[in-house]
Amino acid sequence: MNVTDTAIRFEVLPARLGDCLLVECLREQGPPWRMLIDGGPPDTWPLLEARLAGDPRIDVAMISHIDSDHIGGMIPYLSGPMASSIGDVWFNGRTHLPDLPDAQRSVGQGESVVAALLGTPTLGAAARTPLPWNLAFGGGAIETGEEAGFVEHAVPGGPLVTVLSPTTKRLLALATSWYDAVEDATRGEEEAGEPDVLAPLDDLATIAAAKTSKDGSVPNGSSIAVLVEHRGASVVLGADAFGTVLGAGLAGVAAARGVPALQVDALKLPHHGSKGNVLEALVKIAPARHYVVSSNGDTFHHPDDEALARVVMHAPPAPTLWFNYRTPRTQRWDDPDLRARWGHHTRYPADAAGGLVLELPAR
C-alpha cells in the first residue's frame, strides 16, 4: 500500500503490559502528522528512542493518564533532546484538576512528568525551556464536560481529533487522590501476579454475557481517549478509559452526526482488553473492522476472555483481532476451529520484537 492509498498508519510497539502507540496521518504531499500516545513502562524507552531516532518529529505527544505502564517511557523522552521536536504535549497535570488552589505544589512533590514539561532541572542538570503543554486546548484541561460530551480539534491539513474521555467528574475524582496516584506511578512497581489459568473457549456466548465488575481505578477513569479521523479512515485510541465513559462519548459523537452507531476502522481496546472496560455497549456503539490489544499479559493476564468474547459476539462480521504479543492467552484465539465457528481473524507480530503495524486505507 503506497502513501496515497494509506490514510492512517497505526503502530503498536511492544511495551510489555503497557501502551506505546504511534499514529501517523499520511498526506499526499508533505510529511505525515504524527501522534505518540504513551511510552509504556520505563524499560520501553530504549525501544521508543530507537524508533524515533531517524525522525523525532512528533506533532502531539499524549500522556493518557498517570500510570507507570503508560508514563514510564515518557519521562526520559520528555527530559531528553528529542523533546525539542514535539509540537504539543497533551496531558492533564495537577494544574488542570478541579478545585485545587495549591496546584503549584506539584513539582515539589517530585512529579517527574510535570517537572519535564516545565523544564525543571534534575540534580546536576540545567533548567530547560518549558515544553508546549495542552496548546490545542488553550493550556487548559483536556476533558469532555458531562458524560456523552466530546471535544473536536481539527488539525489544519491533518486529522480531526475528537476527545471522548475523561469527563469533568473523572478529573475531579483524580484530584482527590492525585498524590497517591503519582506516588504509585512514579514508583513503577508491578505486583506479582497469580499464575494465569486458561479456561476453554467453547461457549463464547456464555463468556461474553458473564457479569463482571466495571473498572474502578481513579487514574484509569481520568484517561484521555480520542478518535482520530483522516482522509476517511478512523481509529479509536481507548487508553485505559472506563468503558461507560468511552462508550458514552462515542454515542455522543454518533448522535451529533445523526447515525445510530459510529462505524470506525480500528479500536484500540481500553485497558489492554480488560473485562471491566470492554463492555457490550461499547462494542455496539463503535463497530470496528479491527480490534487491537496492547499487552503481553504480564501481571494482570490481559486480554480477558470476556472482553474478546464481547468483541467477537457483537462486532460486525469477521472482525480482526490484533495482538502485539503472541502468548498462550492470545494464541487460543487463533484456533482454526474457533475462527471457523465465529468468523473472526487474528493477527500477530511477524517479529516478536517489532510490534504491530496497521495501515488503514483512505476512502
Compute the distance between CA of residue 41 and CA of residue 188 in angstroms, rounded to an integer. 8
Compute the distance between CA of residue 164 and CA of residue 251 in angstroms, rounded to an integer. 10
pTM of the prediction? 0.93
pLDDT tens string 286-341: 999 999 999 999 889 999 999 999 999 999 999 999 999 999 999 999 999 999 99
Whether residue 303 contacts residue 272, with contact meaning beta carbons closer than 8 Å, is answered with yes
Strands, DSSP E only, in the chain?
A: 6-12, 21-25, 33-37, 58-62, 86-90, 151-154, 160-165, 225-230, 233-237, 264-268, 288-293, 320-323, 345-347, 356-361
Determine the pLDDT at residue 106.
39
Whether residue 14 contacts residue 357, with contact meaning beta carbons closer than 8 Å, is answered with no
Whether residue 42 contacts residue 73, with contact meaning beta carbons closer than 8 Å, is answered with yes
Residue 142 has a CB neighbour count (10 Å cut-off) of 21
The type of residue at 287 is P
Determine the pLDDT at residue 1.
43
Determine the pLDDT at residue 116.
85
Burial class (CB in 10 A: 0-12, 13-18, 19+), 283: buried
Determine the pLDDT at residue 104.
41
The type of residue at 146 is E
Please compute Rg for the chain using Cα positions.
19
Residue closest to 240 by CA, chosen among 304, 294, 286: 294
Determine the pLDDT at residue 283.
98
Whether residue 252 contacts residue 286, with contact meaning beta carbons closer than 8 Å, is answered with no
How confident is the prediction for the chain on average, in pLDDT? 91
Whether residue 266 contacts residue 236, with contact meaning beta carbons closer than 8 Å, is answered with yes
Determine the pLDDT at residue 185.
76
Tell me how many helices (H) and strands (E) the chain has: 14, 14
Determine the pLDDT at residue 354.
80
Residue closest to 224 by CA, chosen among 134, 313, 164: 164
Determine the pLDDT at residue 241.
98
Determine the pLDDT at residue 299.
87
Determine the pLDDT at residue 126.
65
Residue that has been written with the C-alpha cell 506516588 in this structure = 183
Per-residue b or e along 147-180, where b marks 16 or more CB atoms closer than 10 Å to that residue's CB = bbbbbeeebeebbebbbbbbbeebbbbbbeebee
Q: C-alpha 15: how far from its chain's center?
A: 12
The full DSSP string for 163-232 is EEE--HHHHHHHHHTHHHHHHHHHH---PPPPPP-----S-HHHHHH---PPP--HHHHT--EEEEEETT
Whether residue 223 contacts residue 178, with contact meaning beta carbons closer than 8 Å, is answered with no
How do strand 160-165 and strand 151-154 relate by DSSP bridges? antiparallel
Compute the distance between CA of residue 201 and CA of residue 133 in angstroms, rounded to an integer. 45
Burial class (CB in 10 A: 0-12, 13-18, 19+), 316: exposed
Alpha helices in 26-92 (DSSP H): 45-52, 68-71, 74-79
For residue 25, what are the β-bridge partners?
8, 33
The dihedral sign for the CA sequence 255, 261, 265, 270: positive
For residue 321, what are the β-bridge partners?
291, 346
**Per-residue confidence in pLDDT tens, the chain, 363 aa:** 455 699 999 999 999 999 999 999 999 889 999 999 999 999 999 999 999 999 999 999 999 999 989 999 999 999 999 999 999 999 998 888 876 555 444 333 336 788 888 787 655 566 778 999 999 999 999 999 999 999 999 999 999 999 999 999 999 999 888 878 877 776 665 555 678 889 999 999 999 999 999 999 999 999 999 999 999 999 999 999 999 999 999 999 999 999 999 999 999 999 999 999 999 999 999 999 999 999 999 889 999 999 999 999 999 999 999 999 999 999 999 999 999 999 999 999 998 778 999 999 999
